[in-house]
């Protein structure tokens, strides 16, 4: 998919800068404004494991506010006590790695191998996370969720729908 000049300018306006490695508009809203962009896995000959970036200012602000209130810590506490959530997160990361790999062509794979970065991308999941048990950033999880639903994105949707967090089990 080719990015038009107008789309590139829309994304730049949303980011406040030109997007490095912009490959596609992955998700648009009803008014055809970019919500999520897809970026290259190699930018300026350096690995760029964050495949999807959330550029929707309303969702970004909402997540900023939730993160400032400690929602990552709350979600992490729930995940830490629930083996099913932990397994689902690992599956989300593995699926994300496969999806990121599917966007690479042979020339990109060759260059990643030559530069020694292929193993980096093979070990980094959503948002470039290496520790598949950690959340780290709701923005990257939600950007990925808007493309392919995932565990943390579903938790965030439920939270926003006014549903309480799953109960934490005693340690």
* Cα 71–chain centre separation: 17
| Chain length of the chain | 171
- Give the separation between CA 135 and CA 142, rounded to whole angstroms: 11
Alpha helices in 16-147 (DSSP H): 57-68, 71-80, 83-102, 106-115, 118-123, 138-147
C-alpha closest to that of 132 among 79, 75, 89, 99: 89
> Mean pLDDT for each consecutive 10-residue tract of the chain (171 residues)?
87 93 95 95 89 96 96 96 96 97 94 93 94 96 98 96 63 40
Secondary structure of residue 56 in the 3-state scheme: coil
- The pTM of the full predicted model, rounded to 2 decimals, is 0.92
- Which pLDDT value is given to residue 2? 77
C-alpha closest to that of 74 among 10, 167, 1: 167
- Which pLDDT value is given to residue 171? 40
- Which pLDDT value is given to residue 35? 97
- Which pLDDT value is given to residue 72? 96
- Which pLDDT value is given to residue 28? 95
- Give the separation between CA 98 and CA 51, rounded to whole angstroms: 11
């Amino acid at each position: 998919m080719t990015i038009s000049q107008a789309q590139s300018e829309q994304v730049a306006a949303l980011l406040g800068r030109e997007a490095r490695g912009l490959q596609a508009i992955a998700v648009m809203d009803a008014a055809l404004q970019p919500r999520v962009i897809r970026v290259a896995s190699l930018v300026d000959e350096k690995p760029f494991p964050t495949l999807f970036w959330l550029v929707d200012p309303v969702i970004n602000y909402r997540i900023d506010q939730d993160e400032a209130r400690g929602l990552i810590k709350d979600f992490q506490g729930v995940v830490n006590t629930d083996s099913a959530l932990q397994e689902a997160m690992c599956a989300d990361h593995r699926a994300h790695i496969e999806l990121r790999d599917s966007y690479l062509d042979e020339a990109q794979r060759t260059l990643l191998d030559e530069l020694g970065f292929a193993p980096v991308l093979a070990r980094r999941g959503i948002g470039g996370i290496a520790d598949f048990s950690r959340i780290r950033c709701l923005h990257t999880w939600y950007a990925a969720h808007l493309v392919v639903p995932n565990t943390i994105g579903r938790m965030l949707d439920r939270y926003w729908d006014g549903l309480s967090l799953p109960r934490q089990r005693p340690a």
